[in-house]
């Protein structure tokens, strides 16, 4: 398994393997933010196939509440490993470590991420990796359904922070 930042030609490959649903979290939107210097879109590959993604947002948390409370903390957003058959093999852990290494190289080495309050397994993983719970917030999301209708909702999440030095 190797991890690399997204290249222009990867966007179409990602879309084929895992079609975007979130408006702000589409592969194209994440790649555009990387091109603008706002984030790094990290992709894990196994045998030439992308098996997940994580966007490291250098401009801070996607949710305004989080940015206000943790102004200098980059955020790992959109962390996902797929298909399910490649979960629990260490890919997610490697993505988080790759993000943390980038953060150490860029500056203070702070890293944050949000986890849905109902996602106990992911929360357990982040706790094992040293991320400490901070604030609870509502994460606003927008997605387009199969009929092309925009749906907006918010998920109750907890923001976790790891200070690396
Ligand atoms: C959470 C996730 C990114 C972790 O990636 P991963 O490659 O499975 O993680 P690792 O192999 O490094 O670590 C495995 C640990 O992840 C955690 N985990 C969380 N959700 C999981 C899931 N749906 N399947 C497997 N492991 C999961 C468990 O604590 C697991 O440890 P265990 O195998 O001892 O139970 C991945 O499982 C996933 O994409 N889950 C669905 C989407 C999601 O919940 N994203 C996180 C949003 S905050």
pLDDT band at 102 (very low <50, low <70, confident <90, very high): very high
pLDDT in tens, 70-95: 999 999 999 999 999 999 999 999 99
- Architecture of the CATH domain 2-163: 3-Layer(aba) Sandwich (3.40)
Rounded to the nearest integer, the mean pLDDT of the chain is: 95
Is residue 108 over pLDDT 80?
no
Count other Cβ atoms within 10 Å, centred on residue 42: 24
Ligand 1, atom nearest to 115 Cα: 48
DSSP one-letter code for 62:
S
pLDDT for 67 beyond 80? yes
Going by CA atoms, what residue is nearest to atom 5 of ligand 1?
A: 92
Mutation pick for ligand 1 pocket among 1, 121, 156 (CB with most ligand atoms within 8 Å)? 121
What percent of the chain has a predicted confidence (pLDDT) above 90?
A: 88
Q: Which atom of ligand 1 is nearest to the CA of 157?
A: 48
What's residue 145's pLDDT?
A: 84
CA 61 to ligand 1 center in whole angstroms: 21
Residue 37 pLDDT > 90, yes or no?
Answer: yes
CB under 6 Å to ligand 1: residues? 79-81, 87-93, 115, 119, 121-122, 124-125
What is the pLDDT at residue 156? 97
pLDDT, tens digit, for every residue of 131-152?
999 999 999 989 988 888 999 9
Which residue CA neighbors atom 10 of ligand 1 most closely? Answer: 90
Q: What is the pLDDT of residue 107?
A: 85
CA of 92 to the centre of ligand 1 (A): 7
């Amino acid at each position: 398994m190797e991890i690399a930042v997204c290249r222009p030609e990867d966007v179409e490959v990602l879309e084929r393997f895992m079609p975007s649903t979130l408006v702000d979290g589409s592969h194209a939107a994440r790649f555009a933010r990387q091109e603008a210097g706002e984030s790094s879109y990290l992709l894990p590959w196994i045998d030439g196939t992308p098996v997940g993604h994580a966007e490291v947002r250098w401009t801070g948390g996607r949710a305004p509440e989080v940015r206000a409370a943790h102004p200098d903390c980059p955020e790992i957003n959109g962390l996902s490993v797929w298909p399910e058959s490649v979960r629990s093999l260490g890919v997610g852990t490697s993505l988080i470590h790759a993000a943390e290494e980038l953060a150490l190289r860029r500056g203070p080495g702070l890293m944050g991420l949000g986890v849905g309050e109902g996602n106990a397994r992911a929360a357990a993983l982040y706790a094992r990796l040293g991320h400490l719970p901070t604030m609870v917030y509502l994460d606003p999301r927008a997605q387009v359904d199969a009929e092309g209708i925009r749906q907006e909702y918010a998920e109750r999440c907890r923001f976790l922070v790891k200070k690396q030095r």
